[in-house]
């Protein structure tokens, strides 16, 4: 079976009714907005997942179809994933048991609106139960509305390129927030809408991967009775920026119409970019990959930063990982301190409070994660001590899960999941994060 990581595929150039919280519950973890800034007391210590990667059987989504179609770039289908659609209570209990106070998860649009205009109240209730259970467990629920997947019908209409897409997404956002109610702590509209730009920047596409991508999307269109099939991070990356930012704006407005107090933001993939040599193209990269999103983020309550490693930028563009460097399972350089630089940069560019919405690494050797976590969190807390308004640190991921094109190979979890029984086993590295969180929260 082929195993591709997303960077390789993205570089190929083609991907590239308000509900009252339980008494006292809303007071947990998150303080009201101060001076228009999202501020959180105490610091948000948490773990993150995304619906498609953990729930299982997300059959009405665009990516589910792409996993099934021939040809496909996915190394294996997501199938039952971690069975979290059933086992979410256990997941929440694990987060709680680790002294964390925050759980980030996504709602799957294709479960909520499996056919256009047909809304599943049962699915909305499911996510409402999750939000309330988080509060009961003392966790701030952070909800992502779009974590790469969208409904299959949406992709078959042209996805984010359809002229109605921003309005349709804003309607979905409003519906979700109305139903999930006052207990939601923060909302993330889009997860990494800049990922394709990042993957493609300065790299030469692999023609074979590109061709398979084109064929996979054509097959998905045909299977859906359409002449198009377009989803987040596929197609013309530069052309997708404007409609996605418009969708973000409209969704933010719709959410504020329901809950003016609810902090809204997006997350961006931001490695620690480091210039090498006097002619480094770093500024060109920044202007292309982040700047348009930063402009929009200045209107948001917070910015989510997602960092996995550093990226060296020379005169020709991205440079390879330095020879001899320790690497993660995804081939990235082991470089836990990266997160310190990316949050400083993101804050300097936007002036917004920063939430580390993802940070972690893929490794089969948990002792490597056990080294990563103290170094990464120390970099975050050093930035905070310097006065950068960092409001939280969410580790990716709570569980070993479905890593998109790469399937179940890469292990990002604080917790392993038996692929045959779904039994969760907390790894020693998770206890390290638990100790760090506890000591910070009890300061
Ligand atoms: C990020 C994604 C997340 C996960 C991690 C490893 O880009 O947001 O879903 O796949 O990478």
pLDDT in tens, 319-357: 999 999 999 999 999 999 999 999 999 999 999 999 999
Rounded to whole angstroms, the maximal C-alpha distance in the chain is: 59
Q: Which position has the token pair 């595929």?
A: 9
pLDDT, residue 235, reads 87
396 touches ligand 1 (CB under 6 Å): yes
From the CA of 410, give the closest atom in ligand 1: 6
Name the residue of 78, 147, 403, 407 to mutate for ligand 1: max ligand atoms within 8 A of Cβ.
403
Looking at residue 37, its pLDDT comes to: 39
Question: Residues 342, 138, 265, CA angle at the centre, nearest 5°?
Answer: 35
Question: For ligand 1, what atom is nearest to the CA of residue 195?
Answer: 7
Task: Please give the distance, rounded to the nearest whole angstrom, from the Cα atom of residue 302 to the centre of ligand 1.
Answer: 19
Say if ligand 1 is within 6 A of residue 62 CB. no
- pLDDT given at position 404: 98
Instruction: Kindly report the length of the chain.
Output: 443
Residues in the chain where the model's pLDDT stays below 70: 1-41
Q: Is 403 in the pocket of ligand 1 (CB under 6 A)?
A: yes
345 Cβ contact list (under 8 Å, min separation 6): 270, 273
**Cα distance between residue 353 and residue 39, in whole Å:** 8
The two tokens of residue 202 are 């300065």
Q: Ligand 1 centre from 364 Cα, in Å?
A: 17
Q: Ligand 1: does its nearest atom lie under 6 Å from the Cβ of 50?
A: yes
Predicted pLDDT at 234: 87
pLDDT at residue 8 in the model: 58
How many Cα neighbours within 13 Å face the side chain of 404? 18
269 lines ligand 1 (CB under 6 A): yes
Exposed, middle or buried, 322 (CB in 10 Å: 0-12/13-18/19+)? exposed
Distance of alpha carbon 81 from its chain centroid, rounded? 17
Tokens 């930035």 locate to 383
Measured between its terminal Cα atoms, the distance across the chain in Å is 50
- From ligand 1's centre to the CA of 215, what distance in Å? 24
> 200-215 burial string, b = 16+ CB within 10 Å, else e?
bbbbebbeebbebbee
Which atom of ligand 1 is the closest one to the Cα of 192?
8
Q: CB of 404 closer than 6 A to ligand 1?
A: yes
Rounded Cα distance, 248 and 173, in Å: 10
Amino acid 32: pLDDT: 36
**Whether the CB of 190 sits within 6 Å of ligand 1:** no
Cα–Cα distance list, 147 to 67, 112, 232 (Å): 16, 14, 9
Q: What tokens appear for 46 in the block?
A: 């948490």
Q: b/e map of 221-253 (b: 16 or more CB within 10 Å)?
A: beebebebbbbbbbbebeebbebbbbbbbbbbe
Topology at the third CATH level for domain 6-441: TIM Barrel (3.20.20)
Taking each continuous run of H as one helix and of E as one strand, the counts in the chain are 16, 12
Residue whose CA is at the smallest distance from ligand 1 atom 9: 50
> Which residue do the tokens 């045959």 mark?
420
Q: Is 300 in the pocket of ligand 1 (CB under 6 A)?
A: no
Report how far residue 414's alpha carbon sits from residue 399's, in angstroms, rounded to the nearest whole number: 6
Residue 22 pLDDT: 25
**What per-residue confidence (pLDDT) applies to 11?**
56
Ligand 1 atom at minimum distance from 330 CA: 6
Tell me the two tokens of residue 319: 């440079």
* Cα separation, 259 vs 288, whole angstroms: 33
Helix axes 237-258, 165-180, angle to 10 degrees: 40
Minimal-distance CA residue to ligand 1 atom 10:
403
Going by CA atoms, what residue is nearest to atom 5 of ligand 1?
A: 396
- Return the DSSP state at 307: E
**Which of 196, 199, 358, 361 to mutate for ligand 1's pocket (most ligand atoms within 8 Å of CB)?**
358
Q: Which of 373, 294, 291, 366 is nearest to 339 (CA)?
A: 373
From the CA of 360, give the closest atom in ligand 1: 6
Rounded Cα gap, residues 256 and 68, in angstroms: 38
Residue 253 C-alpha from the chain's centroid: 21
pLDDT at 7: 53
Gyration radius (Cα) of the chain, Å? 20
Quick check: CB of 134 below 6 Å from ligand 1?
no
């Amino acid at each position: 079976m082929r195993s591709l990581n997303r960077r390789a595929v993205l570089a190929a150039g083609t991907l590239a009714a308000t509900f009252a919280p339980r008494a006292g519950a809303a007071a947990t973890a998150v303080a009201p907005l101060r001076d228009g800034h999202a501020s959180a007391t105490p610091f948000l210590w948490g773990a993150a997942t995304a619906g498609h990667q953990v729930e299982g059987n997300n059959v009405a989504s665009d990516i589910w179809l792409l996993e099934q179609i021939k040809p496909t770039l996915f190394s294996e289908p997501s199938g039952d994933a971690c069975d979290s659609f059933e086992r979410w209570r256990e997941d929440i209990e694990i987060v709680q048991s680790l002294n964390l106070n925050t759980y980030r998860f996504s709602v799957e649009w294709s479960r909520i609106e499996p056919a256009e205009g047909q809304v599943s109240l049962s699915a909305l209730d499911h996510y409402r139960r999750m939000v309330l259970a988080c509060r009961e467990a003392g966790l701030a629920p952070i909800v992502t509305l779009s974590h790469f997947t969208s409904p299959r019908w949406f992709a078959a209409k042209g996805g984010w390129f359809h002229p109605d897409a921003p309005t349709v997404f804003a309607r979905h956002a409003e519906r979700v927030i109305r139903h999930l109610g006052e207990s939601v702590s923060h909302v993330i509209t889009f997860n990494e809408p800049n990922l394709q730009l990042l993957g493609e920047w300065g790299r030469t596409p692999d023609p074979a991967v590109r061709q398979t991508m084109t064929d996979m999307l054509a097959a998905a269109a045909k299977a859906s009775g359409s002449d198009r099939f377009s989803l987040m991070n596929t197609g013309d990356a530069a052309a997708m920026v404007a409609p996605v930012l418009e969708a973000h704006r409209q969704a933010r407005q719709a959410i504020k119409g329901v809950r003016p107090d609810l902090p809204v933001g997006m997350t961006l993939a931001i490695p620690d970019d480091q210039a090498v040599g006097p002619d480094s193209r770093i500024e060109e990269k920044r202007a292309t990959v982040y700047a348009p999103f930063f402009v929009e983020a200045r209107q948001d309550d917070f910015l989510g930063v997602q960092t996995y490693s550093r990226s060296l930028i020379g005169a020709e563009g991205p440079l390879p990982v330095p020879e001899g460097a320790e690497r993660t399972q995804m081939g990235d350089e082991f470089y836990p301190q990266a997160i310190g630089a990316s949050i400083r940069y993101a804050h300097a560019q936007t002036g917004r409070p920063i939430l580390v919405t993802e940070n972690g690494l893929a490794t089969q050797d948990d002792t490597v994660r056990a080294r990563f976590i103290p170094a990464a969190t120390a970099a975050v807390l050093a930035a905070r001590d310097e006065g950068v308004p960092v409001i939280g640190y969410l580790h990716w991921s709570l569980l070993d899960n479905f890593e998109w094109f790469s399937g179940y190979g890469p292990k990002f979890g604080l917790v392993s999941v038996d692929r045959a029984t779904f039994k969760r086993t907390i790894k020693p590295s998770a206890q390290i994060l638990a100790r760090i969180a506890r000591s910070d929260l009890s300061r």
